[in-house]
Structure 1
Amino acid sequence: MTATAPRFGPSPVRLLLAATVLLGTLVGALLAGASPASAHAALTGSNPKDGAVVATAPKDVTLTFSEQIAMGNDSIRVLEPSGKRADTAKIRDLSAAGKVTYAVDLLPGLPNGTYTVAWQAVSADSHPVSGAFTFSIGAPSETTAVVSGQKAGGGVVGILYDIVRYASYAGFVLFTGGAAFILVCWRRGASERPLQRLVVQGWVTLTAATLAMLLLRTPYTGSGELADTFDLGGLRDVLQTKTGAALSSRLMLLGAAALFIAVLFGAYAKREDEAEKKDLTFGLAIGGTVVAAGIAGTWALSEHASTGIQPGLAMPVDVAHLLAVATWLGGLAALLTALYRAPSIERTAVQRFSTLAFGSVVVLTATGIYQSWRQVGSWSALTGTSYGQLLLVKIALVVVLVAVAWISRRWTARLSEVTATEQELESVTVPDDAAGSEESADPERAAQLARQQAALATTREKKLRDDDPERWGLRRSVLAEAGIAVILLAVTTVLTSTEPGRTEEEAARAGGTRAAATVPQGPAEIKLPFDTGGKNGKGIIRLSLDPAASGANEMHVWIYSPDLKLMDVPEVKVAFTLKAKQIGPLPITPDRVTAGHWTAGAVQIPMPGDWQVQVTVRTSDIDQTTIDKNIKIG
């Protein structure tokens, strides 16, 4: 047969190597660029507040979060200025009426100074979150408390966890899509060794990745130390969590999947009666769909779909989305394997896959639109958040993949019903009895001849396969599809560990509101007339606070006589009270600078609000008065 198109020599190998390098680079960039543990649950409030200065030690520290979280007894740590633990290491759940609040009791007799509160938890969508803030008792001080700068879920453990997360998705895609391709598109493929290897490798990858995620879960959500991977106590605790239950359920479902594979490549592949095979196909399709949906449900029940708005609808939609992705991309991998490794594949099988892929894309689009609305929520979040930007990249990749699939569909239409390979292989036969009579007397010679004939058949088979122009074009376009699909799966994996745009924008909006409330408005000033009742006991107090915002402020106090001349007095004291929040009084003793002028630096105001300022003036040993006036801070 004369070649009518360029041959597939080493170029596919080079393309596959290039795709592998590209994948490694892309995954590395995405994992490095994206936060390993985005704030899926956010700290929305605390008592004491961040930066607050309280007069006496509180009995406990409370933290309020934006959504449900999981905490252990060591999840909140309060450290003294010396770095010693200041809490009892017993967490109390105070959540009520939709408000998620946890508290930890403090030890009695705590000294004055600045305290550090470090917390770490697991959000409802299975991702670890952490943070830290400070407050002061009496007055701020230096602190030697050290809090790890590494975010929860980061470091080497975080990188390994992200890798096995990707491997689990890839394994699910190969196992589910490969089996669907055989049952729906090419039943004869159940007997083809390359397709068998593809499906089994997908199952093995998913099983190994699930086991690895279970073992890595303890350090991933806790210490961050790789040595804790084989901590049996930690593994027991993990199994009691929602994520641990999902992973262990996945392992049990993979046991059922192993039985499905054994039947598919055993009894089903050997069955020759078409009627019986049709019935078995239906049974395997139903059973396989149930198992695959169950495995997909382990993701839906433990990640983004299980939290936020409409979880009851979002979880089944997520299952449908995952099944559509696996059927499309996994079927694509199976088709590529058949085109490169199988002796031949009928046009009808490729056409069936084309129809199956189209249906998957329709389901993928419908479920993707709903998921995008649910996770993003607004056009601004689509372009202004990490999740939205990654989603745009995913959409662009899907569009390119569909365009390349359209090219593959055109090549499919040009395939011959019976390929040249099938026609020419008939000429590759063993010698007839007459020619082989001499060799049959010599078993060694017969075995050698059989090996030569097998090698000749393989060589001619590859030649005919590579010289088929339609097959060559289809292989090239499907290879391009597979390369894009690998990148698409990497982006999807990163999306699962990125904070949804809706929650990120809401957190930013809430943060912006708080920031706007504490924007410095410049110095605030009040004037208070006073009368201590003694000689020279009348005058006017002028108090200035700069910048009149939460945090550190500089305070100046001037005392004037009734004729508006600076007047010296023995003592001036100031106190700040925020009655609305029951904070204070916070006592301040300013230093005398010159006659009639007192000042205090680093006056700590813990939060904005309408504060009451009390000024005590003593004009003699026995004459003193306290006056007060409200001042707007922030």
Structure 2
Amino acid sequence: MPVMTVDRRRVLAVLAGLLIGLFGPLLIGAPASAHAALTASDPNNGSTIPDAPNKVTLTFSESVQLIQGKIRVLAPDGSRADQGEPSVSGSQVTIPLRNGGGRGTYLVTYRVTSADSHPVAGTLTYSVGAASTPPSADSDAEVAVDPVVRALIPTGKFLGYAGLVLLVGPVLVLALLWPHRLERRGPGRLVWTGIGLVVGSTLLGLWLQAPYTLGTGLFDVTVSDIRDVLGSTFGAVMLVRLGVVTAAAFLLRPLLVGTGGAESRLDLALLGVLGVAALATWPLTGHPTASPVAGVSVVIDALHLAAMAVWLGGLVMLFGFLLPQANARELGAILPIWSRWAMTAVGALIFAGVVQALIEVSTLDGLINSTYGRMILAKVGIAAVVIGIAAWSRRLVASRVAEENPSRLRRVVVAELALTAVVLGVTSFLVQEPPPRTAQAAETGPVSTNVTQTLTSDKMSLKVDVFPAKVGNNSIHLYAYTPDNRPQTVVEWKAAAALPAKGIEPIEIPLLRISDYHAIGDIGLPMAGEWTLKFTARTSEIDQSTLTMTAKIS
């Protein structure tokens, strides 16, 4: 009996150390960076357009979902320019605008949820006719997260992954390897603990998603906010997880109390199906859904989780129950089978990890020069040591030393658990870090290729827009103003473009007078370089102004 007491304490110590090693980094890390990025907008960010549009279109790097009341367009006077509800189709958000927008600079603020369930926020501006002082942005323009919510999100992840480890591996061992003579009370408590952790983490995740996406406090959540979360993709997946785990709990009762037999084979088959469905819910709420090959990423991530849960959960059962309680004959039957399971799980982990890295990193530069890539290299190095230890444990099993002296194998298992905890600790940080492909999209953002300059003389101010400022066809918009920034009537326009560095003489640009102060023209620019643009605006029979600028054409 004293030996059993010591064993139980050691089991609890190992479990505590394992879970802290696996998930402790999550408790001090911030929620994962948003993985969606604004890649384009219409009108372009910072551009000036001649007439007020009837809509604004935002295009992101991945599909997004709307957050009610968090997208606005403010007119130059600070009033709302948007009208009706915005709509979303995949990665594109369309914001309808009211008619008759005035001249000046408009401000667009947005806050949406990316495909991997993280909020994305920002602002952009565009001007109609001429630029003015933009309206002030509100707090929705930044991804602000309440500190308490920020701390509880990794806690919820901790609970979920801990529950997965304590559920999958022990159930598999009980169903296929557990000796009939041993009681199942201890492993049963382990499994029920795993179920409780998964359910608790899911409920906590559903609650936290509302203040996380809205940027509010933990208790500033209304019934309507929770309803919105449940109606989102994130909410639907989490509800599926709850339903699957609840169904599995009913099927597990006979297995955990030892009453299952041949008649429970159907239950075991159903448990297998439910297990696959439950594992799939983890990648469906993470960044695998935003991968360029989302279907492959989801399957690979689920395989990675399954292999991890089988291997670690099985090691916990081996160390905590089988090695202390099974006799030599039982270990002789169990250990070779477990050794093959472990080898298969390790192979699945390696395969899934390589595929995930190829999808998320894809280049050698991304592997070496990004935080995400360096974490993968660290993970690979530690994993290599773990695989070496696992190979040593297989040799012990093959030599049948462990059957007569289980303590030797238990020491090897402890080493496996410890180093695997470090590997998955690195993985915990890896989940928080945007992969190179999404980090690049976030850094690039919506890039305007327009050239915009304001030219001045003592008689007028001329605003010039050239777009797309690339070799090929380009449009030119001219806006004339008085020195005090009022529209200036222009009777006649003239324009020319030259590239002296390449010996290209001035090319006349045909202009069309749109209004008293606005003209447009089109020209095909055949080469890249610093083009010289010359404009002449005649404002009366005797008054005219000639202004010159350079525009870099790429």
Q: TM over 0.5, yes or no?
A: yes
- For 1:578, which of 461, 466, 478 is the aligned residue? 466
What amino acid does structure 1 have at the position aligned with 2:463? A
Q: Map 1:169-568; keep pairs closer than 5 Å.
A: 169-188=161-180, 191-229=183-221, 231-266=222-257, 269-270=258-259, 277=261, 279=262, 282-338=265-321, 342=325, 346-348=330-332, 349-410=334-395, 412=397, 470-505=405-440, 508=443, 514=447
Matches within 5 A, 1:24-63: 26-29=25-28, 31-32=29-30, 36-54=31-49, 57-63=52-58
Separation of aligned partners in 2, 1:483 and 1:67: 37
In the TM superposition, residue 192 of structure 1 has moved relative to its aligned partner by: 3.1
Distance 1:342 1:585, change over 3 A: farther
Q: What displacement does 1:622 show?
A: 4.4
Deviation at 1:355, TM superposition (A): 1.9
The one-character-per-residue Cα deviations of 1:502-538 (angstroms, maximum 9, x if unpaired) are 3434665x56x959x79xxxxxxxxxxxxxxxxxxxx
Distance 2:86 2:24 in 1: 43
Deviation at 1:177, TM superposition (A): 0.8
What do you get for the CA RMSD once the two structures are aligned? 3.9
Aligned to 1:614: 535
Q: CA–CA distance in 1 between the matches of 2:120 and 2:134?
A: 27
**Residue in structure 2 matched with residue 545 of structure 1 by the alignment:** none
Instruction: Give the deviation of 1:611 after TM superposition.
Output: 9.4
Q: Which residue number in structure 1 is paired with residue 551 of structure 2?
A: 632
C-alpha distance in structure 1 between counterparts of 2:335 and 2:53, whole Å = 71
1:88 CA displacement: 2.6
User: Structure 1 residue 67: deviation in Å?
Assistant: 2.3
Q: CA deviation at 1:327?
A: 0.7
Deviation of the 1:362 alpha carbon: 1.4
> Match of 2:418, as an amino acid?
G
Q: How does 1:53-132 map to 2 (within 5 A)?
A: 53-54=48-49, 57-80=52-75, 84-88=79-83, 90-93=85-88, 95=89, 100-107=91-98, 114-132=105-123
- How far off is 1:201 after superposition? 0.6
Unaligned runs of 5+ in 2: 469-473, 485-528
Distance 1:384 1:375 in 2: 14
* Distance (Å, rounded) in 2 between the aligned partners of 1:283 and 1:64: 48
2:108 partner SS: strand
* 1:387/1:498 contact within 8 Å kept: yes
Is the 2:61–2:91 contact (alpha carbons within 8 Å) kept by the matching residues of 1? yes
Q: CA deviation at 1:410?
A: 4.9
Report the secondary structure of 1:259's partner residue.
Answer: helix
Q: CA deviation at 1:282?
A: 4.8
Distance in 1 (CA, whole Å) between partners of 2:177 and 2:7 is: 25
In structure 2, do the counterparts of structure 1 residues 53 and 147 end up closer, same or farther at CA, with 3 Å as the change threshold?
A: farther
Q: Distance in 1 between matches of 2:11 and 2:190?
A: 18
Instruction: Evaluate the alpha carbon distance shift between residue 355 and residue 215 of structure 1 in structure 2; reply closer, same or farther with a 3 A threshold.
Output: same
Partner of 2:83: helix, strand, or coil?
strand
297-306 or 169-178, which moves further after superposition?
Answer: 297-306
Q: Kindly provide the CA deviation profile for residues 293-349 of structure 1, in whole angstroms up to 9, marking residues without a partner as x.
A: 111122344433334333344433333332212111111122222168757684233
Following superposition, the deviation at residue 198 of structure 1 comes to: 1.1
- Measure the CA separation in 1 of the matches of 2:429 and 2:269: 31
Moved more, 279-288 or 173-182: 279-288
Hey, what's the Cα distance between the residues in 1 that align with 2:125 and 2:182? Answer: 63
Indicate conservation of the 8 Å contact 1:39/1:129, yes or no. yes
Partner residue of 1:560? none
1:79: Cα distance to partner? 3.4
Where 1:139 maps in the other structure, the secondary structure is coil
For 2:388 and 2:402, locate their aligned partners in 1 and report how far apart those are by CA, in whole Å. 25
Contact 1:381 1:505 in 2 (8 A): no
Amino acid at match of 1:141: T
Corresponding pairs, count: 497
2 CA distance for matches of 1:22 and 1:361? 19
* Alpha-carbon distance between aligned partners in 2 of 1:19 and 1:262, rounded to the nearest angstrom: 27
- The answer as to whether partners of 1:574 and 1:613 remain within 8 angstroms in 2 is no
Give distance in 2, aligned partners of 1:316 and 1:20: 25
1:66-120: per-residue Cα shift (whole Å, max 9, x none)?
A: 2221114424222356755443352044x5xxx8432223445666655432211
Report how far residue 175 of structure 1 moved. 0.4
Matches of 1:471 and 1:246 in 2, distance apart?
43
Determine the C-alpha separation between the residues in 1 that align with 2:291 and 2:7.
Answer: 50
Q: Call closer, same or farther: CA 1:486–1:149 in 2, change over 3 Å.
A: farther
Distance 2:304 2:16 in 1: 30
Return the alpha-carbon distance in structure 1 between the equivalents of residues 8 and 165 of structure 2: 28
SS in 2 for 1:571: coil
Task: Report deviation, 1:44.
Answer: 1.0
Q: What's the CA shift string for 1:555-588, capped at 9, x where partnerless? A: 565xxxxxxxxxxxx7244231336676743445
Give the Å deviation of 1:170: 2.0
8 Å Cα contact 1:115-1:134 kept in structure 2 = yes
Separation in 2, partners of 1:9, 1:367: 34
**In 1, distance between residues paired with 2:125 and 2:208?**
31
Q: Report the secondary structure of 1:482's partner residue.
A: helix
Q: Which moved more, 1:64-73 or 1:325-334?
A: 64-73
In 2: Cα distance, 1:20 partner to 1:250 partner:
22
Q: Distance in 1 between matches of 2:530 and 2:40?
A: 16
Counterpart amino acid of residue 257 in structure 1: A
CA distance in 1, matches of 2:171, 2:15: 23
Which shows bigger deviation, 581-590 or 301-310?
581-590
Describe the shift of the 1:228–1:474 C-alpha distance in structure 2 as closer, same or farther (beyond 3 A): farther
Partner of residue 422, structure 1: none
Q: Which amino acid aligns with 1:40?
A: H
Distance 1:40 1:249, change over 3 A: same
Consecutive unaligned residues of structure 1, counting only runs of 5 or more, are 272-276, 420-469, 519-548, 558-569, 592-607
Any idea what SS the aligned residue of 2:164 has? Answer: helix
The counterpart of 1:159, out of the listed 151, 155, 160, is 151
The 1:587–1:401 alpha-carbon spacing in structure 2 relative to 1, beyond 3 Å, is farther
**Amino acid in structure 2 at the alignment position of 1:484:** L
- Output the amino acid matched with 1:625: Q
> Secondary structure, in 3 states, of the residue corresponding to 2:107?
strand
- How far apart, CA to CA, are the structure 1 residues paired with 2:18 and 2:400? 27
The DSSP-based 3-state class of the residue aligned with 2:281 is helix
Q: Is the 8 A contact 1:37 1:152 kept in 2?
A: no
Shift in Å, 1:209: 0.9
Which amino acid is the alignment partner of residue 337 of structure 2?
R
2-structure distance, mates of 1:332, 1:91: 51
AA at the equivalent of 1:370: V
Instruction: Check whether the contact 2:454–2:462 (CA below 8 A) recurs between aligned residues.
Output: no
**Amino acid of the structure 1 residue aligned with 2:551:** K
User: For 1:226-257, what per-residue CA distance to the aligned partner results, in whole angstroms no more than 9, with x for missing partners?
Assistant: 1244x322222223222222111111111221
Residues 115 and 143, structure 1, Cα contact 8 Å, conserved in 2? yes
